[in-house]
Chain A
């Protein structure tokens, strides 16, 4: 089991460009979460998705940010017109299907976005 795969590991974008972050969950996992981590801070929930559905996007800024988890392929976190404040580590996590919400989250290695 390859674990949660994120790419790229590092991404540098100029202000105003678009950033696209990819996440492939662990095999057998159908739930994907995105978290953002600013330097020396904790993990902040952004969005929770199941295949073809956004379940909760309450932690994601209303503008410029979007996420999807298509039927085929990885989950994508997209940030349009990036600003310096978007610089952070973005972690994807997955969990198996559960109705009880007490399944451990398995994190990927993260994408470190730097906006210049």
Chain B
């Protein structure tokens, strides 16, 4: 099955700085890579996703990059704000099953 590894497990950044989270996956057939944000006690919410035929995607302050050859993908958050503090999960899907990374706890210091 698919194995997704996510780093770092915790990340503390100064407000206004950038945050980068990296993930690797094992199944070369995986073709869909979403990112979810989960605030304490709440449900995971999709913030951005990328498909295997695209190398990069951007939505305002959030961008994702995908390197299919190396089987890794990354989330970039620029100009971080306190409301960006949350746990972020990467995931990879082949067919119907979504496999998640262990999560990155991001803390934005004011």
Binding site for B on A (CB under 8 A): 31, 33, 35, 41-45, 48, 55-56, 58, 91, 100-102, 104-110
Binding site for A on B (CB under 8 A): 1, 6, 31-32, 34, 36, 42-46, 49, 51, 89, 93-103
Quick one: closest B residue to A6, CB to CB?
Answer: B43
With A33-B98, A45-B97, A56-B97: A105-B46 Cβ-Cβ less than 8 Å: yes
- Residues from chain A with a CB closer than 8 A to the CB of B46 are 104-106
23 interchain pairs, CB-CB under 8 A: A31-B96, A33-B98, A35-B100, A41-B102, A42-B6, A42-B100, A43-B44, A43-B100, A45-B98, A48-B96, A48-B97, A55-B96, A100-B31, A101-B31, A101-B93, A101-B94, A101-B97, A104-B34, A104-B49, A106-B46, A107-B43, A108-B43, A109-B42
Quick one: closest A residue to B44, CB to CB?
Answer: A107
- Residues from chain B with a CB closer than 8 A to the CB of A35 are 100
- Residues from chain B with a CB closer than 8 A to the CB of A56 are 96-97
When the two chains form their complex, are residues B51 and A102 in contact, meaning their CB atoms are under 8 A apart?
yes
Question: Which residue, of B42, B45, B96, has the highest number of chain A Cβ atoms within 10 A?
Answer: B96
